[in-house]
Amino acid sequence: VTVDPQPVTPLAPQSGGDQSVCSLEEVVLTATATADEGFEVVWYNAPTGGERVENPILAEEGSITYYAASLNPVAGCESSSRTPVTLTINSCTIAIEKTADKSTISSLGEVVTYTIMVTNTGDATLTSITVNDPLTGLEETVEVLEAGESVSFETTYTVTQEDLDNGSVLNVATVKAQTPTGDELEEEDSVTVGADIRPIIANDDDFGTYFLSYGGRLGNILDNDLLNGVRPDDADVDFEFTELDGVIGLLIDDNGELSLIPGVNEAREYTLKYTLREVANPSNSDDALVVFRLQNDEVDLSVTKTSFEAEIFEGDEFEYEIVISNGDTPATNVVVTDNLPNGVSYISNTVTSNTTNATVNGNVSGSAITWTIPAMEAGATITIRVRVKAVTPGTITNTVIVGSDEDDTDETNNQDDDVNVIKPFHIPNVITPNGDGDNDTFEIEGINIFVSTEITIFNRYGDHVLEQENYRNDWNAPGQTAGTYFYVLTGVDSSGQRHEFKGWIQVIKD
């Protein structure tokens, strides 16, 4: 009798052990088991029944259990039980999120509060978690962080001048953790807080011109400056004058007001320089100039007047020319007065020359004409033409006077007179039309006293040789012989009254 020592039905194989890893890189797990000698290991996807698995592996995140049976290759029988082997590829991940309590900073010493949230986003327990924030000095350790569990930390940072100069604060936080297999995870997150630099603009100021004797307010430098688009509040800015240009007795208030002590400086232009800074951010600054002028209290104005020695007849229109000149010191509130003499009537006035485009305001009241010039620069000259009509024969004297708010160093040239004569209406009785320019035409002197005229000239036979309305003083006996001619002149004056003149003309020709 032969006895086979090997049992027909084998025992279940011995497990090679469950396997669990993290999916930090590409990995393939293979289930293992060991059968007794002489038997083979076969794999199934179920503890009983199921389907046989030729390749018991796991190549992606997740978990699977394979079941190993021992196979008697001779008898073809398997063990009555199966040995389970579990393969697990875990998602081992950690996340860090960092937030700030503000999006911008604007001032030195401002405090930013950061919140750091660390979360185990995988499905494996992590250990030895360390959180580090170098900017704020935060260092924290967490022993264990289960899957899905979170922990948060709060930390603060104080803004420096360098941050404002750089225009932002960048903060980076890092988390490290150990996986169940001893691998190290590391993640970081950052948040940037921008610097809200409010633009500061220091604009140049021109505080005008003052006399040496002036004492008082010049102006406020902040009124023309801008911080974030508007006039800065006194508490938000500081300023420092870096150049004073030798000025003496300048009073500077903390609110930007400048005042001057009288009588201690020389007459000239002064240019000062200052730096405007934001208190919250001293590097946010700008420079500007302040200009003002001091002038002597005395001016030298002069005025001249002329009618150009014109020959004037009753009824003629003619012009006076007035020239106002200023010396080396600007003058203020210059007043020019022209009282027209009896014998003329006002028609119009015109500024014909103005070297500095000064404002000239004219006013006519009866026979008095006044021009006011608010500001007349040094060296300026203004020329005015006054048109008048000669009304009454006789000598006319016209006086013009100039003055200003300032004392004048030479008052002798502040007044000027023009003397002329208005000749009466006159009808000549001889003409010599020979082209020598003397008595060539029948010129009625002063005919302009009439609004309109009509003239008829006829010869000794009664033949009309000229009929003309509004006679132009141009008849020179064209085509006529020498001899005696007669005229009838009718004129209508401004009141509508008619005047008739009759007489004779002797025409002498060579």
- Classify burial at 184, counting beta carbons within 10 Å of its beta carbon; exposed 0-12, middle 13-18, buried 19 or more: exposed
CATH number for position 251: 2.60.40.10
Q: Residue 140's closest CA among 153, 127, 150?
A: 153
Residue with tokens 């208030």: 253
User: CB neighbours (10 Å) of residue 415?
Assistant: 16
40-44, strands of its sheet edge to edge: 19-22, 83-90, 62-71, 40-44, 52-53
Q: Say which CATH number the domain at 23 has.
A: 2.60.40
- 42 and 125 fall within a common domain: no
Structure token digits, residue 278: 């934001």
* Domain-located, residue 249: yes
| CATH number where 446 lies | 2.60.40.1220
Q: Measured on CA atoms in the order 460, 462, 466, 468, is the torsion positive or negative?
A: positive
Query: Does some domain include residue 4?
Result: no
Last residue of a domain, one of 239, 264, 295: 295
Evaluate whether 237 touches 227 at the Cβ level (below 8 Å): yes
Total number of domains constituting the chain:
5
Say whether both 116 and 83 belong to one domain: no
- Are both 324 and 373 inside the same structural domain? yes
Residue 309 lies in a domain: yes
Amino acid 295: pLDDT: 82
Identify the three-state secondary structure at position 137. Answer: coil
Q: Which helix (H) or strand (E) holds 347?
A: strand 344-354
**What range does the domain containing 62 cover?**
14-90
Among residues 295, 315, 330, which one ends one of the domains? 295
Residue 5 inside a domain? The answer is no
Using a cut of 0.75, tell me whether the model's pTM lies above it.
Answer: no
Look at residue 2 in the predicted model and tell me its pLDDT: 53
Q: What pLDDT tens digit does each residue of the chain (510 aa) get?
A: 554 555 578 999 999 999 988 887 788 999 999 999 999 999 999 999 999 999 999 999 899 999 999 999 998 899 999 999 999 888 889 999 999 999 988 888 999 999 999 999 998 899 999 999 999 999 999 999 999 999 999 999 999 988 888 888 999 999 999 998 888 999 999 999 988 878 899 999 999 999 888 899 999 999 999 998 899 999 999 999 999 999 999 999 999 999 999 989 998 999 999 999 999 889 899 999 999 999 888 899 999 999 999 989 888 899 999 999 999 888 999 999 999 999 999 999 999 999 999 999 999 999 999 999 999 999 999 999 999 999 999 999 999 999 998 889 899 999 999 999 999 989 999 999 999 999 999 999 999 889 999 999 999 999 999 999 999 999 999 999 999 999 999 999 888 989 899 999 999 998
pLDDT of residue 181: 84
Cross-strand pairs, 195: 105
**Among 55, 46, 151, 164, which residue's Cα sits nearest to residue 105?**
164
Q: Is residue 276 one of the residues assigned to a domain?
A: yes
477 and 416, same structural domain?
no
262 and 344 part of one domain:
no
Same-domain status, 289 and 302: no
- Beta carbons of 125 and 116 less than 8 angstroms apart: no
Q: Are residues 314 and 419 in the same domain?
A: yes
Collapsed DSSP state (helix, strand, coil) of residue 319: strand
Residues 210 and 160 in one domain: no
Judge whether 236 lies within some domain.
Answer: yes
**Residue 305 shares a structural domain with residue 402:** yes
254 is written with which tokens? 């903390």
Q: Which residues pair with 128 in a beta bridge?
A: none
φ, ψ (nearest 5 deg) of residue 242 = -100, -20
Query: Which of 37, 58, 90 is the endpoint of a domain?
Result: 90
Q: How many angstroms separate the first and last alpha carbons of the chain?
A: 193
Look at residue 476 and tell me if it is in a domain: yes
Looking at the structure, do residues 418 and 311 belong to the same domain, yes or no? yes
Query: What is the distance of C-alpha 247 from the center of its chain?
Result: 30
Pairing type for strands 257-260 and 269-278 reads unpaired
For residue 2, being part of any structural domain is answered with no
DSSP 8-state class, residue 158: E
**Dihedral of the alpha carbons of 372, 375, 378, 382, in degrees to the nearest 10:** -30
Q: Are residues 32 and 134 in the same domain?
A: no
The pLDDT assigned to 323 comes to 98
Predicted confidence at residue 7, as pLDDT, reads: 53
Contact (Cβ atoms closer than 8 angstroms) between residue 161 and residue 246: no
